[in-house]
Amino acid sequence: MSDGPLILGIETSCDETGVGIVRGTTLLANAIASSMDEQARYGGVVPEIAARAHLEAMQPTLDAALAEAGVALGDVDAIAVTSGPGLAGALMVGVGAAKALAIALGKPLYAVNHLVGHVGVDLLRPAEEGGGELELPTVALLVSGGHTSLLLVRDLLDDVELLGETVDDAAGEAFDKVARLLGLPYPGGPQIDRAAASGDPTAIAFPRGLTAAKDQAAHRFDFSFSGLKTAVARHVEQCRARGEEVPVADVAASFREAVVDVLTAKAIAACRELGVPRLMLGGGVVANARLREVAAERAAAAGIALRIPPFALCTDNGAMIAAVGAQLVAAGRAPSSWDVGADSTLPATVVQA
């Protein structure tokens, strides 16, 4: 086992209650409870339901993580917690739990940026795969139901830059909304993926948001999916108005292709223009096989090394927050103030709140 501080990380920014435990850069536990089933009846994440579910899941998830790691709460050197960005009410549950634990145990508290956690998680890959070190600088494309961000990370603790983000829907949210338009259940990503398998990705020329020449000055690395969603809605309505059956497979495949095309084109362009030879992916949308495939093709063609953490570490989890906490502790950073609170719009550049 590697040495380093024993850190417990808590993540509650969206609908996953995550408690992870790491020692330095060694992953000891990654316990997760999700309220996705409860959200399914509403077709998306309802913040109040997420917050309540975190409250109920916190203690069992904490117990599961401690059992998995085989450590006692009293052995932990510090508590790390996501303080933002994310859903305010959901974040508050995690921050409250982390403060209570830290105070009760007499341990320091580290409030960590969720987006930076998605990058820091790559430290936890096994030693035989080069674990323990981040290859930097890297561009990171983080795509989930809650965020779509392109980061440039030169230093995990001191130099994280936001290159761009979505100006409207998150990529995963677009999958969820389009699935709903097609009459498919929540979460939409896997459903669209399944339907797209038998469809023609070139059947319908859906728009690629913020890729026009006029958008390049202000939105070079930003994303927009609301126009795409509207185009899908219009296509579906027109089919129905003509009394035709909606070609679900072709719509799904063409929609997925549009999302994947824009995400990968902008990520690779960022690497090229900034002279960064690496790209890493994170977030639940990484489950999309077509996204991984096109990212791999385009990265290889551009001579860019692509890193995709194991899927359980791509979706929201507490281990990634513990991993960043361990780096902060190892670097001798002062703990966060007891006054630190949930910050739903914490900027990507603020690694520790």
Cβ distance to ligand KG4 smaller for residue 259 or 269: 259
Computed over its alpha carbons, how large is the radius of gyration of the chain? 20
Phi/psi of residue 117, each to 5°? -60, -40
The 10 Å Cβ neighbour count of residue 155 is 11
Between CA 60 and CA 72 the distance in angstroms is 15
247 binds, among ligand KG4, Zn ion, none (CB under 5 to 8 A by kind): none
Please choose, out of 143-151, 198-206, 217-225, 233-241, the segment that lies near ligand KG4 by the rule CB under 6 A.
Answer: 143-151
Please tell me the number of Cα atoms within 13 Å of 242 on its side-chain side.
9
Report if residue 165 touches ligand KG4, rule: CB under 6 A. Answer: no
User: From Zn ion, ligand KG4, none, which one binds at residue 209 (CB under 5 to 8 Å depending on kind)?
Assistant: none
Q: Which span sits near ligand KG4 by CB under 6 A: 101-109, 127-135, 186-194, 304-312? A: 186-194
**Residues in touch with Zn ion (CB under 5 A):** 144, 316
Amino acid at 152: L
**Shortest distance (Å) from residue 29 CB to ligand KG4:** 19
Among 4, 47, 132, 190, binds ligand KG4 (CB under 6 A): 190
Instruction: Give the residue with the Cβ less far from ligand KG4, 20 or 187.
Output: 187
Cβ–Cβ under 8 Å, residues 270 and 296: no
Shortest distance (Å) from residue 172 CB to ligand KG4: 3
Describe the strand order of the beta sheet including 148-155 as a list of residue ranges: 159-165, 148-155, 138-143, 278-282, 305-307
Q: How far apart are CA 301 and CA 284, in angstroms?
A: 25
327 binds ligand KG4 per the rule CB under 6 A: no
**Under rule CB under 6 A, how many of the chain's residues touch ligand KG4?**
22
SS3 string of 302-318?
Answer: HCCEEECCCHHHHCCCH
The distance of closest approach from Cβ of residue 189 to ligand KG4 in the complex, given in angstroms and rounded to an integer, is 2
Shortest distance in whole angstroms from residue 352 CB to Zn ion: 17
Which pair of structure tokens corresponds to residue 153? 């990370």
78 versus 322: smaller Cβ distance to ligand KG4: 322
Question: Nearest to residue 178, comparing CAs of 241, 142, 230, 224?
Answer: 230
Among 49, 55, 287, 308, binds ligand KG4 (CB under 6 A): 287
Q: Shortest gap between Cβ of 238 and Zn ion (angstroms)?
A: 35
For residues 115 and 149, the answer to whether their CB atoms sit within 8 Å is: yes
**According to the binding rule CB under 6 A, does residue 148 interact with ligand KG4?**
no
Q: How far apart are CA 70 and CA 318, in angstroms?
A: 16
> Which residue number, 99 or 177, has a Cβ lying nearer to ligand KG4?
177
Interaction between residue 284 and ligand KG4 (CB under 6 A): yes
Are residues 147 and 115 in contact, defined by beta-carbon separation less than 8 angstroms? Answer: yes
Residues 69-128 that bind ligand KG4 (CB under 6 A): none
DSSP state of 127: G
**In angstroms, rounded to a whole number, what is the distance separating the alpha carbons of residues 175 and 169?**
10
- Interaction of residue 61 with ligand KG4, rule CB under 6 A: no
Residues that bind ligand KG4 in the complex, under the rule CB under 6 A: 14-15, 45, 144-146, 172-173, 175-176, 187-190, 193, 283-285, 287-288, 315-316
